[in-house]
């Protein structure tokens, strides 16, 4: 893991500082144009929570990650799609749910940049991703709070652990959402942000 962190340190770039923050659809387009990878929540978690690399780059929170997610209300099963209307932009973000995940409940679906595309269709933005690229994170907490982080995505799961544990993270969630995860401090994961919010963007080079 340390080698991965060291490799990411060499490639880590501030594509957009928070003072010039951009909405996620603009961040997505900028990353494509510059041929960069918006860092995943997992890499952000390693860099922010497990090292002091972030100090070297004078990173100012909050920042977008490239981890796109979708979830519905607690105890409700996933249907054929999850939709979220951004109250500021009025854009409807739509995450089609592959048949293999329909019916799951208390599950957040995650897919990492660049394994998805954003397709604009009128006032709708559709997340297009192959089923084999989507990660279902089950046992997603029903409310905001401190929880154990999952291993694969670092998204919190509904397991309470000691507040002093290095694996504990604070989750911010809403009733249902479609959008990228954001990081606003070292140990907090925001799954309730509006894609229209103007945040900073960290990237790494494509290999």
Cα separation, 14 vs 116, whole angstroms: 22
- Which residues face 70 on adjacent strands? 109, 178
- pLDDT, tens digit, for every residue of 81-102? 999 999 999 999 999 999 999 9
Sequential DSSP letters for 15-73: EE-GGG-B-HHHHHHHHHHHTEEEPPHHHHHHHHHS-SHHHHTT--S-EEEEEEEEE-S
pLDDT given at position 103 = 98
- pLDDT, tens digit, for every residue of 127-185? 999 999 999 999 999 999 999 999 999 999 999 899 999 999 999 999 999 999 999 88
**pLDDT above 50 for 2:** no
Residue pointed to by tokens 């990237």: 203
* Spans of all domains in the chain: 2-192
pTM above 0.85, yes or no: yes
Binned at pLDDT 50, 70 and 90, residue 68 comes out as very high
pLDDT given at position 69 = 98
Q: Determine the distance from the C-alpha atom of residue 41 to the mean position of all C-alpha atoms in its chain, rounded to a whole number.
A: 6
- Residue with the bigger pLDDT between 182 and 206: it is 182
How many Cβ atoms are within 10 Å of 178's Cβ, its own excluded?
A: 24
């Amino acid at each position: 893991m340390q080698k991965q962190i060291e490799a990411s340190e060499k490639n880590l770039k501030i594509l957009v500082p928070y003072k010039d923050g951009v909405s996620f659809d603009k961040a997505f387009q900028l990353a494509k144009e510059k041929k960069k990878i918006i860092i995943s929540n997992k890499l952000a978690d390693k860099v922010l929570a497990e090292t002091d690399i972030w100090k070297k780059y004078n990173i100012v929170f909050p920042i977008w990650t490239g981890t796109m997610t979708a979830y519905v209300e607690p105890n409700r099963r996933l249907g054929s799609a999850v939709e979220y209307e951004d109250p500021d932009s009025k854009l409807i973000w739509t995450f089609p749910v592959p048949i293999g995940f329909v019916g799951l409940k208390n599950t957040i679906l995650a897919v990492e940049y660049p394994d998805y595309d954003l397709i604009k269709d009128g006032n709708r933005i559709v997340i297009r991703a192959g089923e084999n690229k989507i990660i279902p994170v089950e046992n997603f907490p029903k409310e905001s709070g401190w929880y154990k982080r999952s291993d694969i995505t670092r998204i919190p799961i509904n397991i309470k652990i000691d507040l002093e544990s290095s694996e504990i993270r604070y989750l911010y969630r809403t009733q249902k959402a479609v959008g990228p995860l954001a990081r606003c401090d070292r140990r907090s994961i925001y799954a309730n942000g509006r894609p229209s919010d103007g945040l900073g963007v960290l990237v790494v080079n494509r290999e």
